[in-house]
Amino acid sequence: MLNDASVSFSNPDLSYGRARRYGGAIYAGGTGTFISGGVQLRPKISITSCTLTIQDFDALTKGGFMYIDHPQMILDLSGCSY
């Protein structure tokens, strides 16, 4: 995910992931906001109501489960254990 995207996961089963560089499951990088329907929005990652514990992710450089290099990113983790 780069720059101006928003991603939502609802009821995911997030177990076991590996990355050679950044973020075993999610990498989000970039800068800025975006316009949708005439409204300025910030990019967002939303992970809600996980079916299992988020576990066993690895990244060889940085960010086991996720690596966010975006100063305006909104992160919503709700209803998940890790």
* Tens digit of each residue's pLDDT (9 = 90 or more) over 18-29: 898 888 888 888
* pLDDT per residue as tens digits for the range 62-80: 888 899 998 999 999 999 8
- pTM (2 d.p.): 0.77
pLDDT at position 3 over 80: no
d(Cα 54, Cα 66) in Å, to the nearest integer? 11
Phi-psi bin for 37: left (phi > 0), alpha (psi -120 to 50), beta?
left
Taken as a whole, the chain contains a residue count of 82
Question: What's the total number of domains in the chain?
Answer: 1
The parent domain of residue 30 ranges over 6-78
Q: Answer whether 14's CB lies under 8 Å from 47's CB.
A: yes
* Strand partners for 58: 18
Instruction: Classify residue 1: in a domain, yes or no.
Output: no
